[in-house]
């Protein structure tokens, strides 16, 4: 399964210059005092096979931007183009509790038009990819929080999109489970070469996972700074290089929060 996905990603790189292109995007929402500008003139590309994290203070528009890229909303200004329809993974697993783990994945395959005869095998392969072999018949209530997020990841991968959007998918998990899933996500990303745009407010998580960290300013969200993360894999949350870059980014983030407080 991993080989198949990797070949698909390789073919995508041959035909697409970017997995996502965000050009001069702004977003406003109506309010009692008039339109409120949430995102202001965002320009950002995600290259094929690249892992990018979006970082910023609460309310800076990270999730709003992800929803725009997913096509769940439209920008007020600017354009967004993606290589096919992105797959989206939320903070909550959003699994259907009346379906088994396998059937949740099979539903995504069904919506793609995969023949019924193939769905079971494909779902089993995806469960194996996220290291949940044998969990096909397990109900959602039988799964731990980490296992549910693995199923949610497998369901997102079932959409066979070159771009995976992740909105703080590990925020509700305990530290040890989150650490394990960081390893798993990194492994899957490297095996499949899918492009990832990952929203988080956790600086160390951003540095541990990404090839590039993008910091959004406080509202309205603008691209305030970017860092290329050249730390080799495997990375650990406690690695010295991860900690040092995290300190630098945290100082920038604090500056944005202080600036916003003076506005």
- The verdict on pTM exceeding 0.75 is yes
Q: How long a stretch of residues is the chain?
A: 263
- pLDDT digits (tens), the chain, 263 positions: 433 334 344 444 444 689 999 999 999 998 777 788 999 999 999 999 999 999 988 888 999 999 999 999 999 999 999 988 999 998 777 889 999 999 999 999 999 899 988 999 999 999 999 889 988 999 989 998 889 989 999 999 999 899 999 999 988 888 998 899 999 999 999 998 899 999 998 999 999 999 999 999 988 999 999 999 999 988 999 999 999 999 999 999 998 888 765 44
Rounded distance between C-alpha atoms, residue 194 and residue 11, angstroms:
11
Q: What is the pLDDT of residues 137-153, one digit of tens each?
A: 999 899 988 899 899 99
Q: What are the structural domains, with CATH classification, of the chain?
A: 2-86+162-262 (3.40.50.300), 96-160 (no CATH)
In sequence order, which ranges of the chain are alpha helices (DSSP H)? 2-15, 62-70, 101-111, 116-129, 145-157, 175-192, 203-209, 240-262
Note the Cα 257 to chain centre separation in Å. Answer: 24
Strand order in the sheet with 223-228: 87-89, 163-167, 195-200, 51-55, 212-216, 223-228
Rounded distance between C-alpha atoms, residue 99 and residue 135, angstroms:
12
């Amino acid at each position: 399964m991993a080989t198949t996905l990797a070949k698909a990603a390789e073919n995508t790189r041959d035909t697409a210059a970017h997995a996502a292109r965000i050009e001069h995007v702004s977003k406003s929402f109506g309010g009692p005092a008039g339109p409120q500008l949430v995102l202001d003139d965002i320009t950002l590309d995600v290259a094929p096979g690249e892992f990018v994290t979006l970082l910023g203070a609460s309310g800076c528009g990270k999730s709003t931007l992800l929803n725009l890229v997913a096509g769940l909303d439209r920008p007020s200004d600017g354009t967004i183009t993606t290589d096919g329809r992105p797959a989206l993974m939320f903070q909550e697993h959003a699994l259907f509790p009346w379906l088994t783990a396998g059937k949740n994945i099979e539903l995504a395959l069904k919506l793609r038009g995969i023949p019924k005869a193939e769905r079971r095998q494909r779902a089993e392969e995806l469960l194996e990819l996220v290291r949940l072999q044998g969990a096909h018949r397990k109900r959602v209530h039988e799964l731990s929080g980490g296992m549910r997020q693995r199923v949610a990841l497998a369901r997102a991968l079932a959409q066979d999109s070159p771009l995976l959007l992740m909105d703080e998918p590990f925020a509700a998990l305990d530290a040890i489970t989150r650490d394990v899933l960081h390893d798993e996500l990194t492994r899957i990303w490297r095996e499949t070469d899918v492009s990832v745009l990952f929203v988080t407010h956790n600086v160390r998580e951003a540095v541990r996972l990404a090839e590039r960290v993008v910091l959004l300013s406080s509202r309205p969200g603008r691209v305030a700074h970017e860092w290329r993360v050249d730390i080799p894999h495997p990375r650990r949350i406690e690695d010295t290089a991860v900690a040092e870059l995290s300190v630098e980014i945290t100082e920038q983030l604090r500056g944005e929060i202080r600036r916003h407080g003076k506005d």
